[in-house]
Amino acid sequence: MKFAVIVFPGSNCDVDMYHAVKDELGADVEYVWHDATNLDEFDGILLPGGFSYGDYLRCGAISRFSNVMNAVKKAAEQGKPVLGVCNGFQILVEAGLLPGALMRNKNLKFMCRTVELRVENNETMFTTEYDKGEVINIPIAHGEGNYYCDDETLQQLIENNQIAFRYHGENPNGSISDIAGITNKQGNVLGMMPHPERAVDELLGGADGLKLFKSILKQWRETHVVTA
């Protein structure tokens, strides 16, 4: 399986994402600059965190117009796994690949610490290595992670089982229904504010995030016949 880590001007978690896939997961991965127009050679697309285009105008609002986003949308339509973390989540929302919006944290402060998440849906291609209801420890680092959607959208997310992760115990940013991560209806696009790529080795303080990447790889292997 070959992953693409999309790099925008201002991305600062791209190296973390690359390390998680290359060194911890043991899969093939390449950096792809934001002006690329073709992602056909890749099996999974990763949008890292950071401050793309300085978060000017609105988080992710400029990145959504980057050339590469047309290719990201094509990959999503083809059913390939697309993961957006933190700023990557914001970009996916701005691009219309996921519903809702990300607002300023309820305390209006940037927060950087480890939080507890509860796995709400362990049947997506990102979560099969987890148990339903499992509580995991994943770092956050964001100032605008307060997820919001209207009541109708929230009901659809619940009915379609699109809520992948919820904050457990403390809700650090005020997100509606304690939402920490959601998928699209097809289940192949996941956006989440916490950083699983920063929790892939006990030396980093925990490895609960590695199961997410293992889930993607396992799903890909199960759906692709590899011949010698």
197 a catalytic residue: yes
Helix (H), strand (E) at residue 112: strand 111-119
195 a catalytic residue: yes
The CA-based angle 104-107-108, given to 5 degrees, is 45
Q: Which of 50, 40, 137, 128 is closest to 87 using CA atoms? A: 50
Q: Are strands 44-47 and 111-119 parallel, antiparallel or unpaired?
A: unpaired
Q: How far apart are CA 169 and CA 172, in angstroms?
A: 9
Q: Select which of 94, 129, 144, 197 is catalytic.
A: 197
CB 102 within 8 A of CB 145: yes
Task: DSSP letter for 1, please.
Answer: -
Q: Which of 81, 76, 78 is closest to 44 using CA atoms? A: 81
Q: Give 173's Cβ-side CA count (13 Å radius).
A: 32
Q: Select which of 86, 120, 144, 149 is catalytic.
A: 86
Q: Which residues are catalytic?
A: 86, 195, 197
